[in-house]
């Protein structure tokens, strides 16, 4: 069982003791006992869904408690760096700012892990390892209107972020699954990355556990959408 973090409500200093009590009881009596995730995995998933759902204020106050489960500062930043590709810098900026405030990272320098000349090759290699051999040449696919986006996906999304280290591909695909599930409206991409998760070892039971632990932070509708994606993809 995951190391228990401080419970909902108290971890963000709710001033409503009645609501705090309900949330605390739900998390401690219903949610946490049903997980087999370790504290680090659960914490990274929660950070991801908070970013995906744009819950920046909650993230700021809850981060110290979330990290008690074993998430390191480097893992917090890597999760947020990857979020830039799936949320955009505008929506990720508040989280990076709050991470600096909480973790004392003001002035922390982002160091590129990929040489400019290697971005395409390394990104394609990552894509192939995650999705399969059919991704060979994806950067050159597409028509005149959309081809450049495919190239950017390989060079930027995978070449710049997935290859950074600290987190492995399985962890990064779980993060992507959480980012997509939490923001909603990304069902085609959610299904694609659900398939990628399953392909590299994050099976349906694992993904179900992840999204179940994240439900208190994103609500039932988006949780049910994610569960539907898991069922549909895993049945094929």
**Cβ count near 72 (within 10 Å):** 14
Distance CA(173)–CA(167), nearest Å, equals 10
Domain 10-111+169-235 top-level CATH class: mainly alpha
pLDDT tens-digit readout, 77-134: 999 999 999 999 999 999 999 999 999 876 677 777 677 778 999 999 999 999 999 9
pLDDT band of 3, cuts 50, 70, 90: very low
Three-state secondary structure call for residue 14: coil
What mean pLDDT, rounded, does the chain reach? 90
Question: Under a CB-based contact definition with an 8 Å cutoff, are residues 163 and 123 in contact?
Answer: yes
pLDDT tens-digit readout, 144-202: 899 999 999 999 999 999 999 899 999 999 999 999 999 999 999 999 999 999 999 99
> Has residue 1 got a pLDDT over 60?
no
- pTM value? 0.92
Residue spans of the domains in the chain: they are 10-111+169-235, 114-163
Nearest CA to 60 out of 47, 72, 73 is that of 47
pLDDT band of 14, cuts 50, 70, 90: low
pLDDT tens-digit readout, 43-77: 999 999 999 999 999 999 999 999 999 999 999 99
Q: Return the H-helix or E-strand segment holding 126.
A: helix 119-131
Paired tokens of 163? 């290859």
Question: What is the pLDDT, as a whole number, of residue 20?
Answer: 81
Provide mean pLDDT across the span 200-222. Answer: 97
Q: Tell me which of 102 and 16 has the higher pLDDT.
A: 102
Distance CA(141)–CA(204), nearest Å, equals 30
Query: What secondary structure letter does DSSP report for 107?
Result: T
Largest interatomic CA distance in the chain: 58
Question: What is the pLDDT, as a whole number, of residue 176?
Answer: 98
What DSSP string describes 44-59?
HHHHHHHHHTT-HHHH
**Burial letters for 126-155: b for 16+ Cβ neighbours within 10 Å, e otherwise?**
bbebbbeeebeebbeeeeeeeeeebbbbbb
Question: What is the pLDDT, as a whole number, of residue 59?
Answer: 96
8 φψ region: left (φ > 0), alpha (ψ -120 to 50), beta (else): beta
Distance CA(200)–CA(181), nearest Å, equals 19
Question: What is the pLDDT, as a whole number, of residue 21?
Answer: 84
**Cβ count near 111 (within 10 Å):** 6
């Amino acid at each position: 069982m995951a190391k228990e973090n401080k419970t909902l409500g108290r971890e963000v200093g709710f001033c409503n003791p009645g609501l705090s009590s309900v949330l605390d009881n739900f998390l401690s009596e219903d949610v946490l006992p049903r997980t087999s995730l370790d504290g680090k995995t659960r914490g990274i998933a929660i950070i991801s869904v908070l970013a995906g759902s744009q819950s920046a204020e909650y993230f700021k106050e809850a981060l110290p408690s979330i990290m008690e489960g074993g998430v390191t500062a480097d893992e917090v930043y890597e999760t947020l760096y990857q979020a830039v590709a799936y949320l955009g810098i505008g929506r990720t900026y508040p989280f990076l700012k709050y991470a600096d405030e909480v973790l004392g990272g003001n002035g922390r320098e982002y160091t590129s892990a990929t040489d400019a000349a290697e971005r395409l090759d390394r990104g394609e290699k990552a894509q192939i390892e995650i999705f399969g051999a059919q991704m060979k040449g994806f950067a050159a696919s597409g028509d005149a209107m959309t081809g450049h986006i495919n190239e950017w996906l390989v060079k930027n999304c995978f070449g710049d972020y997935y290859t950074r280290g600290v987190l492995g591909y399985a962890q990064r695909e779980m993060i992507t699954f959480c980012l997509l599930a939490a923001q909603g409206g990304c069902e085609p991409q959610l299904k694609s990355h659900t398939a990628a998760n399953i392909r590299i070892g994050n099976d349906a039971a694992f993904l179900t556990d992840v999204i179940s632990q994240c439900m208190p932070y994103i609500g039932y509708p988006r949780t049910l959408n994610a569960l539907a994606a898991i069922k549909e993809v895993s049945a094929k």
